[in-house]
Amino acid sequence: MKTYKLKQNLTQVYKNYTNEDLTVWKLLFKRQFALLKTLAAPEYLQALEKIGFTANKIPDFSETNTILSKITGWKLEVVEGIISEPDFFELLSQKRFPATTWLRKLNELDYLPEPDMFHDVFGHVPLLIEPKFSTFFEEFGKLGVKYKCDPQTVQMLGRIYWFTIEFGLIKSKNELKIYGAGILSSHGESKYSVGNQPAHLPFDAKIIMNTPFENDKIQDKYFVIDSFDQLYESMQLIKRTIFEKFKVQV
């Protein structure tokens, strides 16, 4: 998978979107929203409405940034594709979320080797207006900046990111709901993730930091938070675990 060098002052050129781009966005949005109406966390669905994303319009980053900045102070940073871990941590620590502006083709609706705009924007961006979630995300970025030169710590943080922000589930009124962007943007994994086949494990940041994952196949386990308050409060345990395991200053 290619890693791109972070370039400054990239922008979304909205006029360059084609009819195929709009068709792709509309198809992906409609089929995914049909699933998520009953499967996604209520907080995500409320955020999706509040941020104004619809099937009939590709999100305009300037409009999205206005909404984000008013509510939690976040903004979107345009990138070409996957960026290096240090750059990623740095952006998050500044409340800037890296997002691509390109969309997959009609013949690639179900699989891409790297995330496109639908994953980045539809999956990740709405919950950036949820205060506890977005603060957890920011603190995650700050930890990454602090320990970016320690490969073991970076690996542990990568596992936290994977099992929460990308593939996290939440319990809502005793039902499993989706909040991880990797599931929210995946047609194939949405129903599967809350079904009977995979393991659903209680959220424990210390266990997660010692749990490896495979990023090239559908998941066989998911960790379930009770609330976004629990996710936010887990940051203290994450910091203590880094200290205990590596004897580094937190």
Q: Note whether residue 225 is domain-resident.
A: yes
pLDDT at 113 over 90: no
- How far is Cα 72 from Cα 33, in angstroms, rounded to an integer? 24
The answer to whether 179 and 41 have CB atoms below 8 angstroms apart is yes
The answer to whether 19 and 58 have CB atoms below 8 angstroms apart is no
| SS3 of residue 222 by DSSP | strand
pLDDT at 167 over 80: yes
The token duo for 168 is 């996290």
Nearest to 81 by CA among 111, 114, 51: 114
Q: Note whether residue 111 is domain-resident.
A: yes
Q: Note whether residue 164 is domain-resident.
A: yes
Q: Give the single-character DSSP code of 165.
A: I
Q: Note whether residue 9 is domain-resident.
A: no
Residues 125-149 have a mean pLDDT of 97
The token duo for 242 is 């880094």
Q: Note whether residue 1 is domain-resident.
A: no
Return the pLDDT at 72.
97
First CA to last CA across the chain, in angstroms?
Answer: 32
Q: Note whether residue 229 is domain-resident.
A: yes
* Angle at alpha carbon of residue 34, lines to 31 and 37, rounded to 5°: 145
Return the pLDDT at 246.
64
Hey, what amino acid is at 124? Answer: H
Hey, what amino acid is at 16? Answer: N
Nearest to 235 by CA among 157, 182, 176, 130: 157
- Could you tell me the CATH number of the domain that includes residue 241? 1.10.800.10
How many CB atoms sit inside 10 A of residue 197's CB? Answer: 8
Number of structural domains in the chain: 1
Q: Note whether residue 145 is domain-resident.
A: yes
- How far is Cα 212 from Cα 53, in angstroms, rounded to an integer? 34
Rg, Å, the chain Cα set: 17
Question: Tell me: the pLDDT tens digits for 54-107?
Answer: 999 999 999 999 999 999 999 999 999 899 999 999 999 999 999 999 999 999
Q: Domain range for residue 203?
A: 14-246
Q: Note whether residue 6 is domain-resident.
A: no
